[in-house]
Homo-oligomer: A and B are copies of this chain.
Amino acid sequence: MKIAIAGYGNLGRGVELSIRQNADCELFGVFTRRPPETVKTATGAPVFHIDDILKYKGEVDVVVICGGSATDLPKQTPELAAHFCVVDSFDTHAKIPEHFAAVDAAAKSAGTVAVISAGWDPGMFSLNRLYASCILPDGRDYTFWGKGVSQGHSDAIRRVDGVLDAKQYTIPTDAALSAVRSGTNPELTTRDKHKRECFVVAKDGADKEKIEKEIKEMPNYFADYDTTVHFISKEELDKNHSGIPHGGFVIRSGKTGIDNEHTHIIEYSLKLDSNPEFTASVLVACARAAYKMNKEGIVGAKTVFDIAPSYMSAKSGEELRKEML
């Protein structure tokens, strides 16, 4: 199976690295909007200009589209699905129905499979919400994010006057996690479930008290959260906070019995050293699924909900039943 990568940022690089771990996959190359000669890939994979991608129509089996959800994917995914099997990680939840419809139309008329919104949320977290709700209809699910870096919140801190650089971690609160795991189905807002920890590099001579106050009182971003601010040096930030870890928890608690006397807790959690590399690894498994489904004559837009799990594996049905069931 030959995979092309469209877009070469952190996610595209993650896909490049993930392909090396899958013996049935081969990286055809990276397609970029930048002048190809200015892009150096991590593994030395060839780089092409995105405008040339249709020239390789017969040679590429699946295109993994690694653009952003705001402006890239709404345009790129339908366009590319009209020529290739594709996978994207579209994550603007509110616009998924619209994106699905546009991609589905393109994929159906081209006879391709287009997997949208793959990754971990949407993606593996969605799958776990779905399975758990089917098994325990009389229940409630809770999604926690973190501990992980929030790019949006880090950017918001960097815009504060006197801040040189910053990194913000979203962290699930222990109290909320314990309450959910106890099976009492508490009412919890996103704010109850998470706290925020900020590592800030102040400019020389900046008023740290003022910066801290401004961060903690920032509406929407921090004002309603339990927020901690640590001032550290640029060196410390670069040394200890340069990674992009993330993760989280999907927990469903539900009842069964003649009188709802039995409580069950289903918990799925991720602890990821690299958010983009893990997301990329999910995209590659979905690229395999798109390829295998299309080989069987399946067409159209799909999400993880529509993919029988065996399609994500390189193993045969017999092997899976023997080794994994």
**Chain A interfacial positions (CB closer than 8 Å to B):** 14, 17-18, 21-22, 42-43, 93, 96-97, 100, 117, 122, 124, 126-131, 133-138, 181, 256-258, 261-274, 277-278, 280-282, 285, 288, 303-310, 312-314, 317-318, 320-322, 324-325
Contact = CB atoms under 8 A, between A and B. Distances in A.
Contacts of A21: 137-138, 256
B309 A127 contact: yes
B256 A281 contact: yes
Given A126-B325, A127-B309, 19 more contacts: A17-B257, A21-B137, A21-B256, A124-B131, A127-B131, A134-B288, A134-B309, A135-B281, A135-B285, A181-B271, A262-B274, A262-B277, A265-B272, A266-B269, A268-B269, A303-B321, A305-B309, A306-B309, A308-B308
From A263, A267, A308, A309, name the one whose CB has the most chain B CB atoms within 10 angstroms.
Answer: A309
B256 A277 contact: yes
Contacts of A18: 256
- For the complex of A and B, list the 9 residue pairs with the smallest distance between their C-beta atoms, beginning with the closest: A262-B273, A134-B312, A256-B277, A262-B274, A134-B285, A265-B271, A305-B310, A122-B325, A126-B325
A21 B259 CA distance: 11
A264 B272 contact: yes
Contacts of A134: 285, 288, 309, 312-314
Contacts of A256: 14, 17-18, 21, 273-274, 277-278, 280-281
Contacts of A42: 258
A276 to B, nearest CB: 10
Contacts of A124: 131, 135, 266
Given A304-B309, A321-B97, A264 B270 contact: yes
A96 B325 contact: yes
Nearest to A249: B267
A321 to B, nearest CB: 5
Contacts of A281: 135-136, 256, 264
B266 A270 contact: yes
Contacts of A282: 135
B268 A325 contact: no
Given A281-B256, A308-B308, A324 B265 contact: no
A320 B126 CA distance: 9
A284 to B, nearest CB: 8
B309 A137 contact: no
B312 A131 contact: yes
A255 to B, nearest CB: 9
